Amino acid sequence: MCGIHGFISQKLSVDSANSIIRNMVNSTHHRGPDFCDFSSMPPVYFGHNRLSIIDLSEDSNQPMTVGNYTIVYNGEVYNYKEIRSKLKQKGVEFLTASDTEVILQAFINFGEACVEEFVGMWAFAIFNNNDNTLFCSRDRFGIKPFYYISSGQEFYFASEIKSLKQTPVFTKNLNLDQVSRAMQLGWVVDKTETYYDCVFSLEPGTNLFYRDGQINKKQYWGVSKKRSSINLSFNDATERFKEMFDDSMKLHLRSDVPVGATLSGGIDSSSIVCNILKNERAKELNTFSIYYEGDLAVDERGFIKEIEEKYKKQFHLYYDSPATSQIEEDFFKISNSMDFPLSGSSPISQYYVMRLVAEKGIKVVLSGQGADDYMGGYMHSYYRYFADKIAAFQPLSFCREFKAYKNNYSPNIKKQIDLLIKSSLSLFMSENKLYNLEYKKYHPFLDNQPKERAGVSLYSDSLSRFNSFHRGLVNTSSLPTLLHYEDRNSMAHSVESRVPFLDHRMVEFLFSLSDNHKIRDGFTKRILRDSQKENLPSKIRWRTDKKGFVTPGEVLWLRGSMRHLLEVDYTQLSFLDQNKCKRVINEFKKGSNSQANLVWRLAHLNYWLKNIC
């Protein structure tokens, strides 16, 4: 896990270019404090921050050159040993034991198709000195970031915006389309778009070629629009999923340094931890969490103790709820680490968990991120699930599952009616229309030029409503933002976070199965629950509430010593409807929490524009 930087420019002198690449590298020292270096290959300049995880020797430092090829790489390709063996059979000789050299040799031998062999997370750039081509690639889900600026005959790239701010082509002009989406929906990015007009994000599952001022991009992976269905019984599918999850866990535990795990007490992170404990896959395991007591308490300790009791081990470390004064003291540092405004206060909890990980000397942690986004883990998956049953004329199945839903979640009449109404909307409206409805109607629409904004555009497909919804979560609405915070919070403390549920083989498999394997008998993520029945404590396996690293920040902190954030400088927010903004904040000040999330976004956008942008 590292930080990558680079550019191609004919305009700069060698001295100026060396100064810029040095500043880029220094700006993200936190991403890789073990070794930092840069290479000058005029007009090409590469820089790298190394966090040593695989092959700790100096031989694996970057930038790394083999023949006429030079690479800077961030991430982990977990099946690098298998690819290495395949390359050795072709006569390739290796000088290191690193996955970096495996990636570079795979590209030399297989070309751009090499990425289709990789299982893992990555963002890398390879310069081919033979034909002066820059080849860049980002992993299938965008677990690792890759930002770039293309300006005339110049091309700059980096892992974080901080690095691109050191370049002569960076400008602070806002992309108001994305700012508006972030305010209304909480999305940090939308496909290629960021908060800045000049900065673009390379889409997940995409390769990029740059040569002579021209960019060509090619998508090498995506959740298929017409993925073939696999006809398996629930029991057979569960057994196959269990095998795939076990294999993913084995690969994600490959490391030359100790590995820990974040643990919230929920099904996903608990499945990871219990899989390690059940199979004795770590000699010593530390897990990490956070809790809040008092008003608006958030406390998962009871569930975590269930795991400790089942496996007769004490392994968990807690971060006691940080005082508001401590958060205020760290607030600039936290905000600056994120690059963009915080869409909620929950990432702050994760920030402190990662701080605890680093304090205990752990450089790699496993996280449960991603499972909800393709297994039917969110409660609003039910809207599409029930809509599909109605559309398929399955009244008995609908009634059976609706009754099971009521038994498991005990919704009041209002929630039941709400579920039926939203299921009806899903029946008659596409995902794109539903998201645009939420974009304009869920919160007061604060943009003062709504007709000029691009709105929301999801990839069109012919999947079921249920799978179309989850494809949108994976590609656009949910997962990209969650992964953004996962990366920034871990790397702010020089920690590598790994996400075993985002093994693309598992994701492809789940998308090929019947929806009834994911929601079944009124339970979300049923295939995961049943696959881990031997590992998980019963109280966790059958949980029907859903919590992550949440915080009470939107209410408790903004009403406490951080209430000064509510004193918004509206001159900075001229692109928003001033009257609506003032009304939303004033209602919050008077005691209404109905728009607390929106108040937080307004307050932090104002803070970010003033202190970080």
Q: How far apart are CA 265 and CA 548, in angstroms?
A: 8
Helix, strand, coil share of the chain (percent; to 5): 45, 15, 35
Quick one: angle between helices 479-491 and 346-359, nearest 10?
40
Token match 């394997």: residue? 517
List 2, 136, 198, 274, catalytic entry: 2
Token match 């795979």: residue? 106
Q: CB–CB of 161/149 below 8 Å?
A: no
User: CA 95 → CA 52, 84, 100, 104, 210, distances in Å?
Assistant: 17, 12, 11, 12, 28
Token match 């091309």: residue? 155
Active-site annotation holds for 2: yes
Q: CB–CB of 104/66 below 8 Å?
A: yes
Q: Phi then psi for 142, rounded to 5 degrees?
A: 75, 35
Q: CB–CB of 196/481 below 8 Å?
A: no
Q: CB–CB of 187/480 below 8 Å?
A: yes
Q: How far apart are CA 176 and CA 174, in angstroms?
A: 6
DSSP 190-247: BTTB-SBSS-EEPPTTEEEEEETTEEEEEE-----TTPPPP---HHHHHHHHHHHHHH
Q: How far apart are CA 214 and CA 132, in angstroms?
A: 12
Q: How far apart are CA 54 and CA 76, in angstroms?
A: 9
Quick one: angle between helices 267-278 and 301-311, nearest 10?
20
Catalytic residue IDs: 2
